Structure 1
């Protein structure tokens, strides 16, 4: 029989060994992220936005083929199921406004005055003859009796005579109750339009929009900036934009930066004070590290401030697409929780 004091020492040594082994094992097996657990219909997802209605999450994204505006749903943010597209053909106004276009891109979803507003883009690749349209529905649930999308027509249009490109819309209501739509891709960057709260369309169609982000072009080529999304948090407005090139599969160089401003009209600055109007900002989403190299070109980010109707703390998530090197560069749904650091800046846990 082992003396009592020796038994205690032996037990303590055994616990210490187990603790050390456990720590080493934990270090070798890092915690999985939400992205690691995503499953179901994740492909193709391009330019996603996300909303929650009741106990269901909804993702809307760029259309493919005759599926004009893709839809997906989930009860837990992990398991995703594709649904019917919002449109299967362009509205007549869009066919006339943008000849040669047969797709809908980059939707944005919000709930305003008892209806869901879905803004969408119609264009042809590489052109700034583009338009943003609006469709609305009282619910996102296709099984609900009152479900149904009503197209509200043209919101903003750009032509070769304009210095901006009317795609990639994002809607926000500021703290004073004013309604805004940010948009833009390439050309002179990201613009912000004041909207009529009743119609969801420009308050003054002749008014010049605010410029809130731009990348001055270097000699010999453009400096891409697109896909704006504005968040209201902690007394600041936060502007996310994507830099460089999407749509090249695993060769995409897309990444997402963020800046903040006390005023919704700017100026938006990165953590180091660099202005987004001069191609600055703080990197928020970037490609996997070189030793991983699976998901490339993360960008066109959307945001969800998730308030559970059953109670509990609200959580923030960023939704985006990235190109999966293990699936021939397929554009893939990605979602990451966001925590706010001690310095007040957001950190995506992806």
Structure 2
């Protein structure tokens, strides 16, 4: 025994290892930078950063499982620790932001190794026959150095576009980049050999200026209905002002623009207005304060898509947990997010039940609005009475899609999706909406009476 070993308690046996806390009651708590997949049996598997709000935790990528995306059971760790090549390159003591994808019969996990404040980082690859493992290390995919300009090699997201595979990656420092992968191996297309990393950087698709510390990370790219791509990305401080913005492009490699047409690589505009906000800190009347939601991935599960992200408790910001929300698309192809957490079996995939008549929207709604230049704080909901006069100029496009045409006062058009949900505050079925206008102002809300 050394001075660093825990001292045994003669009444209870050896003291627990502080790096391996009791995970039996964790559920979805302590899940940071999450991504979810579904296996052939219908079980959901969640992979997340080696994080624990109460202290140190062992390395190897946390794994949870669920049957409904609401209740999670801790399953263990995917790997025995930081793979040797990643540890040697970065000095990392844990793994961050895993990305798990299925390619044929093989499951591929891209893990990140780094230390806070450094861009001497690496993204590596492990493979398995099933999300539960066993996972086999396949070496490094891309690396970066702190003393070299370019992207930080963390936060991988894999995009499949026909026969071509891409990795979207990067964080702070050099912004978000896209690197092409070899579909057969999962490694970088320009890798000098199996398990040997590429020295990126690929195509730059999003960045922010030094005035805001280049605060952009956790990118995820997904196809838009009808063609093209959407980039979902997190802005600002991980601990307080974190929030999610989006842009769209005709190509995986960009350029991505926001609702107002601003390029997400723009360093000249006000950095608080570039990118269209879709999820930020908020509080509905009578409910919890959700702080700093972000680092989102998207799970496509049958007929619906779900945004999987972490969020903090506004009353105890050190506490983070996984949260899942429905992702919807406006009539003109912009991704938006439900105001309500996913309720599992209580949710309906029957699109025929989504409202199609403007008159169905009348009632009292609790609404949260995210202004592009002020989306990083906590926004409280406000009650909005919707009546016949309010609905003037609103048209139904069917299947829950609505548009309010520009008014004579010069106000922009507003595109919204209205859908059934479960009100987490009221504990009952409800209607919810998410919408955005042509300036990049977004809003979501839930009807509380009608």
Alignment TM class, shorter chain as reference: 0.7 to 0.9
Given the alignment, which residue of 290, 296, 299 partners 2:294? 299
- Tell me, yes or no, if the aligned pair for 1:43 and 1:330 is still in contact at 8 Å: yes
2:198 matches 1:210: no
Distance 2:109 2:325 in 1: 23
Give the unaligned 5+ runs of structure 2.
1-24, 52-56, 191-197, 340-450
Q: 1:206 to 1:123 in 2, by over 3 A?
A: closer
2:26 matches 1:48: no
Distance 2:156 2:26 in 1: 27
2:177 matches 1:191: yes
Match of 2:231 in 1: 239
Q: 1:67 to 1:92 in 2, by over 3 A?
A: closer
For residues 97-134 of structure 1, what are the alpha-carbon distances to aligned partners after superposition, in whole Å with 9 as ceiling and x for unaligned? 112x1010000010013111110100011100000011
2:254 matches 1:275: no
SS at match of 1:349: strand
Match of 1:334 in 2: 323
Match of 2:221 in 1: 230
Distance 2:185 2:121 in 1: 20
Match of 2:304 in 1: 315
Could you state the TM-score of these two structures normalised by the residue count of structure 2?
0.62
2:250 matches 1:262: yes
Q: 1:208 to 1:348 in 2, by over 3 A?
A: closer
2:347 matches 1:344: no
For residues 65-88 of structure 1, what are the alpha-carbon distances to aligned partners after superposition, in whole Å with 9 as ceiling and x for unaligned? 114211111111222111111123
Q: CA RMSD in A?
A: 1.8
Match of 1:287 in 2: 281
Match of 1:150 in 2: 136
Could you say which structure has the higher strand fraction?
2
Distance 2:93 2:122 in 1: 13
Distance 2:71 2:26 in 1: 5
Distance 1:72 1:303 in 2: 17
**Relative contact order: is structure 1 or structure 2 higher (C-alpha 8 Å, sep ≥ 6)?**
1
Match of 2:345 in 1: none
- Tell me, yes or no, if the aligned pair for 1:130 and 1:166 is still in contact at 8 Å: yes
Could you state the TM-score of these two structures normalised by the residue count of structure 1?
0.80
